[in-house]
Structure 1
Amino acid sequence: MNRTVIILGGVLAAGALGYAVLSMMGGDDPGGDRSATAPGAPMVEVALPATLGDAARMGKVAFEAQCVTCHGENAAGKAGNGPPLVHKIYEPGHHADYAFQMAVENGVQAHHWSFGDMPPVEGLTRSDVSNIVAYVRTLQRANGIN
């Protein structure tokens, strides 16, 4: 019983610390305070890569047709609409390529940002999404996100 109390106390302390850190950082929204950002404005600056591979080029076309409305030009996000995909939150170690496939197929319940839930996206094949991921990963690498 004594061991259980110690473990429970540790879990509660860790949770309180995490809550305190998130509160000091502006809550669960990793973009921080964007109150001065005009609606529809890009949320991050995106350095463009010198070249795009074949898959990334096809992904850019699909992204511009299906994703740009919410995620903005060059995946820079769009204030009031959707988050930037060129952001450390979406690095491969945190959101693997398969997460993008699942997001398109099933939608996503809001958990990192305060934009609301992402609905499923109609009209994209798995191949289209793979190409979009290639484009996003190329942009991420060009911006130091690996």
Structure 2
Amino acid sequence: MPDHRRDRQGSVCMNRRSLLISIILLAGAFLIFRSFQPPEQPASGDVMANVTVPQLSAQAQVGDTLFNRSCASCHGENAAGKDGIAPPLVHKIYEPNHHADAAFHLAAKNGVRAHHWQFGNMAPVEGVTDSELDTIVIYVRELQRANGIN
């Protein structure tokens, strides 16, 4: 009569050994994959988009001032982006059909996880009210329309 205990113990040992080998192979694959990643480039802060600035409405002029106070340090003058820091908001990714006005409010109030660009996560913007955000969005939308983003 066969000894089933011995077979089960051998099977358990074999499963543990296979699991350990799998973990070692996965760790090795991860290390190899990371070694092929391009090195991170330092942030240059260079302008990322050529932005045509139109004759702004009175509200957008106020939005420009608010944008410069709360957003331009990352997103650049005229929302043109800063290389390695933050993306341009005058970009087709941020057109109203893809990022509605509410998306700007949510990003500013709550921050946003990186999903279109490789800049990392955006932190919430401190000290900006909902009505100020409305005015900033008017400014950004006027810039977008002047640059063919509708």
Where on the TM-score scale, by shorter chain, does this alignment land: which range? 0.7 to 0.9
Taking structure 1 as the reference length, the TM-score comes to 0.73
- Note if 1:95 corresponds to 2:96: no
Work out which of the residue numbers 78, 81, 89 in structure 2 matches 1:85.
89
Taking structure 2 as the reference length, the TM-score comes to 0.71
Deviation, structure 1 residue 75: 0.3
Question: What CA deviation, in whole Å up to 9, does each residue of 1:47-96 have, x standing for no partner?
Answer: 110x1112211110010011111100100000011000000000000000
- Which runs of structure 1 show a deviation greater than 4 angstroms over 4 or more consecutive aligned residues? none
Question: What CA deviation, in whole Å up to 9, does each residue of 1:26-59 have, x standing for no partner?
Answer: xxxxxxxxx99x701100100110x111221111
Of all paired residues, the percent bearing the same amino acid is 60
Find the counterpart in structure 2 of residue 139 from structure 1. Answer: 143
**Aligned partner of 1:44: which letter?**
A
Q: Distance in 1 between matches of 2:127 and 2:86?
A: 19
Aligned pairs for 1:1-146 within 5 A: 39-49=44-54, 51-146=55-150
Across the two proteins, how many residue pairs are aligned to each other? 111
Structure in which a larger fraction of residues adopt helix: 2
Deviation, structure 1 residue 118: 0.3
Max Rg structure: 2
Unaligned runs of 5+ in 1: 1-34
Give the SS at the match of 1:52. coil
Deviation, structure 1 residue 142: 0.3
**Aligned partner of 2:109: which letter?**
E
Q: Distance in 2 between matches of 1:108 and 1:54?
A: 29
